[in-house]
Every structure is written in C-alpha cells, then in structure tokens.
Structure 1
Amino acid sequence: MSAEVLPHPLGAAGVSGASGSGPVAQGPGRAGPGRSDAERRRRRREVLVLAGLALLALVVVAVYLTVNVRAGWAFVLPFRGRRVAAMVVVGVAVAVSTVVFQTLTANRILTPSIMGFDALYQAIQTALVFVLGGVAVAGIGALPQFGVSVVVMLGASLALFLGLFGGARRSLHLVLLVGVVLGTLLRSVTALLQRVMDPSEFQVLQGRLFASFSAVDERLLAVAAAVVAVCSAVLWAMRRRLDVLALGRETAVALGLDVRRTSLLLIALVAVLVSVSTALVGPITFFGLLVANLAYALAGSHRHAVTLPAAALLAVVTLVGGQAVLEHLLGQDTVLSVVVEFLGGIVFIGMLVAGSRRR
C-alpha cells in the first residue's frame, strides 16, 4: 500500500512551547515587523478559511433546525437540536483524533480506525446480543452499555499502546501492524457469532452496528460532550508540540521535545476520543480521513492551530449538511453513515492511486 507522508508543516512558521520548558524555535512565521508578504498572505488565507468554515457551519446548522418545520417549534427545536449536538460532538471527536493520529504516523491515509476500533465495537455489541439476547441488552439501559463500550475499547487500546511502547526501540508502525491483525481477528470472530445467531437477534444487532444520530440518549450526549471538550482542549494546548512532532522524530528530539512521553499522551487522548464517539453513535470508518484531508487542502497549511479547527468545522458541515439533505430532500431513504463511508472510501482509493502514480 502506498503511503503519503505529511510534509513538514513548519517550513515557514516558527514553533514555541514544544516542551514545557519554554520556546524551542522561532522562525519567520512568528508575528513581528520582519514578516514577509508571503507570510502575511498565508496567514490571511488561514483566517479567511477558518472564518468561512465557521460561517458555513452556522448556516448549515440553522438550515437544518428551521427547514420544513411542520410541528410546533417547542418540539422541533429540542428534537433536532439533540441530533445536531450529537453530530457536533462526534464530528469534532473524529476529526481531531484523525488529524492527531496522522501527525503521529506521518501519513495521510491512516486513521484511528486502522487500529480496529470499529471491529472492537462490533465485537462488543455482537457478544452482548449473542450472550444475553436482544431483549436483555435493550433492558440494560443506554448509559451502562455506553460505559462498557468505552471502558473496553479504551482499556484494550491503552494496553496495546503501552505494551508495545514499553521498550525504547518499539515503533509506532509495529502498533499499526498489530492493530490491523487484531482488527482482522475481531471481524472474523464477529462474523462467526453472527452466523450462528438467531435471525431475530441478528436483526436487533444490525441496528446497533451502523452509526446513527437519530436515537442518542441525552445523558450519554452530555457525558460524551464533556469528555470530547476536555480532550480537545488538551490537544489545542499541545498544538505547537504537534507541529514539532510533525517535523520528524530526530528533529523533534533536537528541538527538546520528549517524543516518547508526548506520543503516549497523544495516543491516549486519541483512544479516548475514538472510544467515546464510537460508543455514542457507532463506527464511522472513513469519515475522519475525508474531513482531515479536506482540511489540509482548504487551509493550505499544516500548522495544527489551523488544521485542527478546520477539520472539526468541516466535520460539522459534512454531518449536519448531509443529514439535512437526507431528511429534507431524499426522504430519509438511507443512513448518513453509509453515504459518508462511501465518499470517504472514494477519497481513500483516490489517495492510494495518486500515491502509486507518484512512485
């Protein structure tokens, strides 16, 4: 598989705060009287892109909340508002985690789902329905199921990461390889259980294996929103460290960054974001790949102060806009996750083809 490596994001921008001790490097990208015209134009483009995406996101949300309102506003606004909140939480979690994960792996075609998060979620849901039955699982309650899914996925991912990073010579690529193998194993076990499952139980299971924003519990949404907000705030505070990390391990070490500790913290935050979003609505495999690469293309910059909010805003526009089109134009004939996965898969294949042609 051909991989596209991320270029250095700091070719024209300075970095500070790579480690907790203070400034690490300062380049022409820092604010000051000596800033070049090209740098001013680049910064102006970044501001315009973020402002445009923020305005577009507000317009899309407003359209979704107000178009084709046939019932009373007191019913429609809370009902649609809960869906919008779920899409915002999931969109931000998936977009931010994907951008950070691609920085860690220095590769644009990799996403956290390559670690088998979607396969683990499907295995958990299949095992619950197979062992307890569809009726018993429905009676457990949304909050306990959410907690079980998050704890199992987070525990498995952290055990994998910490175990493989235990030695000084352990590579992130080994983690990716093990994740692919475990994901394949989990999918095989899941398929076996589904084949021997009662047809009625299998039908109950099918509704839990596709991402859905239509039936999100308010309590789960509040918990997920709080977790995503905290993780996103921590990652935003680490944005300059991410810029340094994107330069490569040797350069990051030379600039004073503790690469191993930073990588472990970033992996833990990515695991939390992906676990929460997947447990909330279900797996969305290629969505992060789609919005992250759109953010790189639109922003024209690899500074994480730009790509992180750009990817999050694009995720909101894509999810809310797609849901509005499905509900108001297509009559809800399909599930949003199916369309998003289809588009993301096309982007993934296109990137593979483009990468192979450049070789």
Structure 2
Amino acid sequence: MAVFMTIQLHGNIAYILKHRGQILATMVLVAFASGIGTLLFQTVTQNRILTPSVMGLESLFVLLQTVLIFALDIGGLSMLGSVGRFLAEGALLVTFATLLYRWLLSGSGMDLHRVLLIGLVCGTLFRSASGLMQRLMSPGEFAVLQSRIFATFTRADGGVLMVCALIVALVSLVVWRMRHRLDVIALGANSATALGVPYRRNVTGILLLVALLVATSTALVGPMMFLGLLIVNLTYPLIGSWRHCYLLPGSVLIGMVTLVGGQLVLERLLDMAGTLSVVIEFTGGALFIYLLLKKAKK
C-alpha cells in the first residue's frame, strides 16, 4: 500500500494522493467483502469450489443496472446521486437474497443444495432478461450500461466509500465475534448440534451476512465472479489452519495483496496493458476449472 501511494509521486501531489487513496480504499473494501463473504459461504456449504456468485447476485446486479437505464434513462439516473444509487442497488440485492433464503430455509429441513440450484436458475433467468432489454436499448444507453456492468476500481466517490466502509466494518465486527462458532459450524450440522450450537439459526444469519457483503462489493465496483474463489483458495494453503481466527484476517490480507499488488504491476510494469478485473477473472476461472477437474478425479 505504501508503494502504491508513493511510487512516482510528482506533479499535483494533493490530487494524485486523493485519487490513489480512493482507489486504494476501494480495493481494501472489496478485499474485505469478497474474502470474508466467500470464506463464510464455503464454511456453511463445506465446499471449497462454491462461491456466493452462484446465487445469482451478480447477475441480478447486471439486470438491475439494465432496468434502471432502460426505465429511467441516463438523465433519471443522475437524479438519484451516487450514494442513493449505491444504497438502492445494495438494498435490492440484499432483499432478493433475504427473500430467497427465507423461502428456501423456512421448511423443516436445511437443504443448501436446493438453495444453490435455485440460485443458478435465477442467475440464468436474470442474464436472459438483461440480454433482452439490452437489445432494445439505444446505442448511447447501451454504452453507459457497459461502463457500469464491468468491474472497475476507479469510479467510486468519497460518499459511497464511506457508506461501504461502515457496512463492511459492522459486518466484520459481527463475524469476528462469532469466529469460534464458525469453527464448530464447519464440522457440519450433526456435529454442531451435538456441541450445542443452534445450527439452523446461525447458518441463516451467516448466509444473510454473506449476501450483504457480496451486495456491497458488487454495488461498489461491479460483478467479479471469481475474486472470492481466488482469495480463499490462496488463504487455505498459505494460512495452514482451519480456525477462523486465522482464516478471517488471512483472507483479508491476501485479498489486499492480490488487488493492490495486481494493480501496481499493471500500472508500473505493464503500462496498463490490461485491466485488473479481467486478469482476476481469467486467473480465477482457470483456478475454478482446475478445482473441478481435481475434484472429479477423486
């Protein structure tokens, strides 16, 4: 972080520091939200391949952006303001996840596989609806939409960052207080219940926290499907422990190194030959395929 903020610092130093500070704050918040959210999701599902993205939240974000531009046009969006638009998008994403979880988990049994399957179906439905409306847009509206649905770390303003930082800080505090219960929940429903942990209530609360983190990250920078998968699957071997008191801060630190280091390499060594989101998605997608093949051979 110090290198990112001070390297080749010349010219209008105040402006450069402010601009780099916003980018750095965005990457730190996304590292918090993606790392912790994916770690919690994999703890609940007991599967190192699954990520919150399979629940259709990022596809819903694309659909939401498409509907806003399609229905309100570009002028109507500017009336909402950046903070208002961020809060509206995040609230809709969390509401969708809350309704989905309450509907699926209100029965007598906890069926996470059914949750994941319906999440995949909803994601496909959202992408299809987005594609239909995008074909009906004017070229100008479509260009604005494309700039919003691709992940970038340079567009968040100070007001949005403050709101996002408050949300992430509150959720992180709640998660840290329940770190020991997470160790027990990772053992499975039967073991957790036998050890006195109310498994159903805790898992429902964890899934809602995951939805809030993913919604915050997605509304802040845009959809990044494989970032959490990349961070967490680097965390497990590097930390070398199953205890969440080490995994939680480890995932955050590794996420920061991944994002800040990747941005630094792209800017200073590769002369911005690409974008960080594309590199992360490519690397994370390759890791996802490798994990699937590795699991299939067992």
Q: TM-score range by the shorter chain?
A: over 0.9
Q: Which residue of 1 aligns with 2:204?
A: 264
CA–CA separation in structure 1 for the residues paired with 2:80 and 2:62: 18
Q: How does 1:41-60 map to 2 (within 5 A)?
A: none
Asked whether the 8 Å contact 1:68–1:328 carries over to 2, the reply is no
TM-score, length of structure 1 as denominator length: 0.81
The correspondence for 1:296, drawn from 232, 236, 244, is 236
Contact 1:96 1:308 in 2 (8 A): yes
Question: Counterpart in 1 of 2:269?
Answer: 329
**In structure 2, what is the Cα distance between the partners aligned to 1:123 and 1:313?**
32
Unaligned 5+ segments in structure 2 are none
Partner of 1:73: 13
Residue matched to 2:45:
105
Deviation at 1:199, TM superposition (A): 1.4
Match for residue 126 of structure 2 among 171, 186, 211? 186
Displacement of 1:86:
0.8
Decide whether the 8 Å contact of 2:90 with 2:216 is kept in 1. Answer: yes
Report the equivalent of 2:3.
63
Kindly state the Cα deviation for residue 140 of structure 1 after the two structures are TM-superposed.
2.8
Measured after TM superposition, the shift of residue 212 of structure 1 is 1.1
SS state of the match for residue 212, structure 1?
coil
1:134, 1:205 within 8 Å by CA — same for their partners in 2? no
Partner of 1:157: 97
Matched residue, 1:148: 88
- Alpha-carbon offset, residue 331 of structure 1: 2.4
Q: Where does the alignment leave 5 or more consecutive residues of structure 1 unmatched?
A: 1-60
Q: Structure 1 residue 141: deviation in Å?
A: 1.3
Which residue in the other structure is 2:63 paired with?
A: 123
Superposed displacement of residue 134, structure 1: 2.4
2:175 alignment counterpart: 235
Matches of 1:143 and 1:86 in 2, distance apart?
A: 15
Q: 1:172 corresponds to which residue?
A: 112
- Shift in CA distance, 168/110, structure 1 to aligned 2, threshold 3 Å: same
Give 1:185 deviation, angstroms.
0.3
**DSSP 3-state at the match of 2:148:** coil
- C-alpha separation between the residues in 1 aligned to 2:2 and 2:172? 24
Secondary structure class of the residue paired with 1:301: coil
User: After TM superposition, which residue ranges in structure 1, 4 or more long, deviate above 4 angstroms?
Assistant: none
Report percent identity of matched pairs: 46
Structure 1 match to 2:72: 132
1:139, distance to aligned residue in structure 2 (A)? 4.0
Aligned to 1:93: 33
The answer to whether the 8 Å contact 2:35/2:228 transfers is: yes
Superposition CA RMSD, Å: 1.1
SS class of match (2:149)? coil
Q: Secondary structure at the match of 2:129?
A: helix
| Offset of residue 248 of structure 1 | 1.0
- 2:76 and 2:107 map into 1 onto residues whose CA distance is 43
C-alpha distance in 2 between matches for 1:260 and 1:266 = 10
Bigger helix share = 2
Query: Does residue 354 of the first structure (1) align with residue 294 of the second (2)?
Result: yes
1:198 to 138, 160, 163: 138
Whole-Å separation in 2 of the counterparts to 1:336 and 1:133: 29
How far apart are 1:75 and its partner, in Å?
2.1
Deviations 1:179-225 (A, max 9, x none): 11001000010011111211121111000001111121101100100
TM-superposed deviation, 1:356: 1.1
Kindly name which structure, 1 or 2, has the bigger radius of gyration based on alpha carbons.
1
**Do the aligned residues in 2 keep the contact of 1:96 with 1:312 (CA within 8 Å)?**
yes
Q: Which residue in the other structure is 1:248 paired with?
A: 188
Cα deviation, 1:209-268, whole Å, max 9, x if unaligned, reads 011111211011001001101101111111111100111110110000000110111111
C-alpha distance in structure 1 between counterparts of 2:120 and 2:141, whole Å: 28
Q: How many angstroms does 1:328 deviate by? A: 1.8
Mapping for residues 297-312 of structure 1, pairs under 5 Å: 297-312=237-252
Code of the aligned partner of 1:144:
G
Partner of 2:254: 314
Distance 1:74 1:193 in 2: 42
